[in-house]
Amino acid sequence: MKRRKLLQYAGLLTAASLIPIGMNGWAFRSVAQTNNPKRLIVIFLRGGVDGLNVVVPHQEADYYEARPSIALPKPGEKDGVLDLDGQFGLNPALKDIMPLWKQGSLAFVHACGSPDFTRSHFDAQDYMETGTPGVKKTQDGWMNRLLAVLPQGEITQAINLGDTPPRILMGKMPVTQLATGKKGTVPLPLDQPQINEAFDRLYSGNDPVSLAYQEGDQARQILLADLTSEMKEANKGDPLPDNFASDARRLAKLMVGDARTQLGFIGLGGWDSHVNENALLTRLLLPLGEGLAALAQELGPLYSDTVIMVISEFGRTVGENGNNGTDHGHGNVMWVLGGGIRGTQVYGAWPGLAESQLYESRDLAITTDFRDAIAPVLTQHLQISPAQLSQVFPGYTFQTSPNFLG
């Protein structure tokens, strides 16, 4: 019975779907085939990842001087960084993404970030998600505004993997929300055919609440179909692993399976490394690297149409603190992956780490505004117009962008 219904929904989705009209309702609209298969996935490392210990400037004496206890050794030394280009090296916990670097689909933009001076996680995350540093009143997120300007006539959707709707996806466009890890596979009462059928009858009308229900129900059916196949693959129905790689695979599958989903977002917490930083980074970077590799793999051919950006609200102090950690800083490194990326390169002007070169004498300076790094992904990759770009990042005068898209 459920299976029949699934097929029915699958049919429905290819023939027609729901798009939001204004802010108040939804309406059916027939869909031609999507002719823009381009995708964007943003991964937000909450807490301020220490970019200097992720993409390490291993030729800088100042780096080793400022971090006597926590600097990562040079390439070739014990536990040394994996050399990228002779100047920078990758934290060895990210070994799983080295093949992507070598194959040319991974790049970094160093000394990148938000120009606002704040060192508050709260404000800095907010600014990077609303896309309007310094403006506290912006209510919607830049990915939601992006969703609104993606080419009309196509059904585009964004999906968030996480428990809380993030600010970056808040706004007038509806966004699908999926729980991470095992929680994402927990059946809802609504999945029981009898209950589902009863609510289908209760919400069979054309009023806004019924339409919202119908839309949500359809998204759930797609997810259920995916979960069913995922469970089959898992050994003897063992619970799914509760980790980022498994979440990343699920996101990739949804994007491959549902042409409507053009934008994806995952927030990962825990990067606030005030204490024993290197142990913390190893613990968190290993699964992140594994997950990114899994994401690339699972996307398959779609990887060439996908850009994955890894961002974080700010970098950390150049100097280490008294607890083998670092404190809130300024400039950071942005990661960019995807089949269309001109990889194997660290972009961005390197400001140096001598005290006089630092932001407020303590942090990595910013030479690339995060909006300038995101801009080419929106204009060249997702092909929005300059006017639309200004809607996504209002009030910003764009500077030169790193040309990682060629």
Instruction: Using CB under 8 A, list all residues that contact another protein.
Output: 23-24, 26, 120, 122, 126, 136-139, 163-165, 167, 170, 172, 174-177, 179, 188-190, 194-195, 198-199, 201-203, 205, 207-210, 212-213, 215-217, 219-220, 275, 321-323
- Return the number of the residue (216 or 257) whose C-beta is nearest another protein: 216
- Sign of the torsion angle spanned by Cα atoms 44, 47, 48, 50: negative
CB of 185 to another protein, least distance (A): 14
- Return the number of the residue (50 or 140) whose C-beta is nearest another protein: 140
Question: HSE of 193 in the Cβ direction (CA atoms, 13 Å)?
Answer: 6
- Return the number of the residue (229 or 323) whose C-beta is nearest another protein: 323
CB of 307 to another protein, least distance (A): 25
CB of 14 to another protein, least distance (A): 19
- Return the number of the residue (164 or 400) whose C-beta is nearest another protein: 164
Phi, then psi, of 135 in degrees rounded to 5? -105, 110
Characterize 328-356 residue by residue with b for buried, 16 or more Cβ atoms within 10 angstroms of its Cβ, and e for exposed: bbbbbbbbbbbbbbebebbbbebbebeee
Cα angle 265-267-269, degrees, rounded to a multiple of 5? 170
- Return the number of the residue (21 or 61) whose C-beta is nearest another protein: 21
Q: Which of 253, 331, 42, 316 is nearest to 167 (CA)?
A: 42
Paired residues of 28 in beta bridges: 18
CB of 222 to another protein, least distance (A): 12
Question: Cα 69 vs. chain centroid, distance in angstroms?
Answer: 31
Phi, then psi, of 334 in degrees rounded to 5? -105, 140
Decide: residue 133, CB within 10 A, 0-12 exposed, 13-18 middle, 19+ buried: buried
CB of 163 to another protein, least distance (A): 6
- Return the number of the residue (194 or 356) whose C-beta is nearest another protein: 194
CA distance 15 to 12: 5
CB of 114 to another protein, least distance (A): 16
